[in-house]
Structure 1
Amino acid sequence: MRMRYMILVLILVTAWGCAPKLKLFSSATDPLAEYTLQGEGDAKIVLVNVNGFLQDQPSKGLLRSKPGAVQELVSQLRRAAKDEAVKAVVVKINSPGGTTTASDIIYRELMKHREKTGQAVVALMMDVAASGGYYTALAADTIIAHPTTLTGSVGVIFVRPKVVGLMDKIGVDVEVSKSGEDKDMGSPFSPATEKERKLFQDIIDDMAARFYAVVRERRQPTEQAFATIRTARVFTAAQAKQLGLVDKIGYMDDAFAEARKLAKVDEARVVAYRRDQYPDDNPYNTMSAAEPGKASLLNVEAGHLLPPKAGFYYLWNPGW
């Protein structure tokens, strides 16, 4: 019995040494490497992805974490900036937005990259590029929406969970001592006063004004179009083009063609920066690090199971 056990262990060890290494968690600490996705030539177009909820904090799951959207984007832009063969960047966006700060940082980093390197930037919208996702796209030289994209939602939402009603039902109270009358404004343990609502609305209006200013500067909509845009509704690709929010409606190949045109090159390789190599890689792959063994427990992001964190967001989330 002991001998059979040892033989089994030996077989497993040998098989493991010959088999591809299985990574149970994202290899977020591995360095980025360049992989060609399609095309030929010395010139390069870098494809970067901006996906999901935009935040500057790592995305934490039950058993793993991965870099936040800001960290991932900046890492890839810095690598692209060091490569003289890179002539353009295509930013593929599939995001409903996120925190006001993360959205603004991503926009600024893309603007800085354009100004510093002279590389053209093309934004390609996928399913959703709304609110902070659209804010990101505003940094591009050209914005292309997929025919089925939803975009817009130009505005701010302030989210603050309230538990005061529940506390009344279960007979629990919270006593607060404070240094100033507005120190606990927005507390989930007490109903909002009219003064608090006014103070928060002032903050919301100020942050919305920043978003509006960027839209006006980068897109220069007519006053009639801007009046519709500032309702903060979402638009189809066709509606967005009519309002001047996007330049073109097209597909990924159209985005690469636009990047070549802006960069004034006839041929260019489309490359991506990954931490892992993928067999049969292509531009529709949105991951930079492998996450095999898609067991649901390992891949559920705990934040999606909880009530939204209080804060100000450039975000469109009809699930709330």
Structure 2
Amino acid sequence: MLKKLRSYLPGKWGKVRPVVPVVRMSGAIGAASPLKSGLNLSSVEDALETAFSFKEAPAVALSINSPGGSPVQSHLIFKRIRQLADENNKQVLVFVEDVAASGGYMIALAGDDIIVDPASIIGSIGVVSAGFGFTELLEKAGVQRRVYTSGEKKVTLDPFAPEVKEDIEHLKTLQHEIHEMFIDMVKSRRGDVLSDDDNLFSGLFWTGAKARDLGLVDGLGDLHSTIHERYGKETKVKVVGTKKRFLGRFIPGASLKGGLNEAAGTLPAAALATLEEKSLWAKFGL
């Protein structure tokens, strides 16, 4: 009734412009720290729930820019998006910016349509585990490694001990299981349009234009143009985000309770986390 009455009112009191809520997901996927806001379910769930609560919205849009990270958090975010979409009977539009690779692409699979830029990087459907070996360094430095455990495999893949063949095989088994789950997700969501390219699940990645040919995405475009084309030029795009505490806006991780001391205490860990994230982006030339 109220909606009908508005059509007779002038100016801003009149016709209500349709709105498409947008949730932005950017960064490496994983746990957060006081000085690093990781992309995980906890960090995006509130925004997702708010976006899907727009009853009159014709769809919910997700803007993704991620080189990947934790397969668990990627899967959790994917499942929550699909749950909310089913519960609220909403179409999900995914728009990729620079990258949707590995876990970033896993999240993108939650979209009913995946729209990318021709130069976006898409794919990397695989699982990787990387580390360092310091055994020779310790020996040259004259440092002894002393570890006491209960459980003979508790120090599996210890970077300060020589590699053990059985441990590597166990890791590869885990990776294979996760990779198969990822492949099943891709086939389930995109099986009707996927190409039969032998490299599709090899871990390779492609430009957005090539990814469209492979069936990994649906089309080329950008968020605003696509939404206006589908729902009309009057459609408003509304970004939905999480609110930050006043202090946290200026010093990430500095809570009102812990203050600057809490943030300062985590600087070394934050620096390592930043380097790790930069290495993820660097793989894709970013």
The answer to whether the aligner puts 1:60 opposite 2:26 as a matched pair is no
2:8 — aligned with what?
A: none
Root-mean-square deviation (CA), in Å? 3.3
1:191 — aligned with what?
A: 162
8 Å contact from structure 1 (residues 90, 259) kept in 2? no
Which of 272, 276, 279 is the matching residue for 1:306?
272
The secondary structure found in structure 1 opposite 2:65 is strand
The answer to whether the aligner puts 1:270 opposite 2:237 as a matched pair is yes
**Equivalent residue letter for 2:283:** P
**1:114-171 CA-partner distances (Å, limit 9, x unpaired):** 1111111111011111111111100100001112101100011112333222211111
**1:153-208 CA-partner distances (Å, limit 9, x unpaired):** 00111123332222111111223333333221111221211111100000000011
**1:72-121 CA-partner distances (Å, limit 9, x unpaired):** 32111111233312331111111101111111111111111111111111
1:173-188 residue pairs with structure 2 within 5 A? 173-188=144-159
The secondary structure found in structure 2 opposite 1:86 is coil
**Equivalent residue letter for 1:51:** S
**1:220-274 CA-partner distances (Å, limit 9, x unpaired):** 155622x2111101101111011100000112224324763xxxx7853211224
The answer to whether the aligner puts 1:103 opposite 2:96 as a matched pair is no
The secondary structure found in structure 2 opposite 1:165 is helix
Please report how far the alpha carbon of residue 43 of structure 1 lies from its aligned counterpart in structure 2 after TM superposition: 3.0
Aligned-partner Cα distance in 2 for 1:148–1:116? 34
The answer to whether the aligner puts 1:92 opposite 2:63 as a matched pair is yes
The answer to whether the aligner puts 1:229 opposite 2:229 as a matched pair is no
8 Å contact from structure 1 (residues 93, 123) kept in 2? yes
Which of 168, 180, 185 is the matching residue for 2:139?
168
1:9 — aligned with what?
A: none
**Structure 1 residues 222, 84: closer, same or farther in 2, change over 3 A?**
closer
The answer to whether the aligner puts 1:214 opposite 2:214 as a matched pair is no
Which of 92, 114, 127 is the matching residue for 1:121?
92
Aligned-partner Cα distance in 2 for 1:219–1:292? 42
The secondary structure found in structure 2 opposite 1:85 is coil
**Equivalent residue letter for 1:190:** A
Aligned-partner Cα distance in 1 for 2:215–2:44? 26
Aligned-partner Cα distance in 2 for 1:51–1:115? 24
Using structure 1 for the length normalisation, give the TM-score.
0.69
Aligned-partner Cα distance in 2 for 1:172–1:122? 55
1:75 — aligned with what?
A: 46
Which of 229, 235, 239 is the matching residue for 2:210?
239
Sequence identity of aligned pairs in percent?
26
Q: Which moved more, 1:140-149 or 1:172-181?
A: 172-181
1:25 — aligned with what?
A: none
8 Å contact from structure 1 (residues 129, 150) kept in 2? yes
The secondary structure found in structure 2 opposite 1:306 is helix
Aligned-partner Cα distance in 2 for 1:124–1:259? 14
The answer to whether the aligner puts 1:318 opposite 2:280 as a matched pair is no
Aligned-partner Cα distance in 2 for 1:107–1:276? 22
**Equivalent residue letter for 1:318:** K
Aligned-partner Cα distance in 2 for 1:275–1:213? 32
2:22 — aligned with what?
A: 47
Aligned-partner Cα distance in 1 for 2:39–2:195? 36
The structure in which a higher percent of residues are strand is 1
Residue segments in structure 2 that go unaligned for 5+ positions in a row: 1-14, 253-262
8 Å contact from structure 1 (residues 47, 90) kept in 2? yes
Aligned-partner Cα distance in 1 for 2:268–2:153? 32
The answer to whether the aligner puts 1:136 opposite 2:102 as a matched pair is no
Residue segments in structure 1 that go unaligned for 5+ positions in a row: 1-39, 278-288
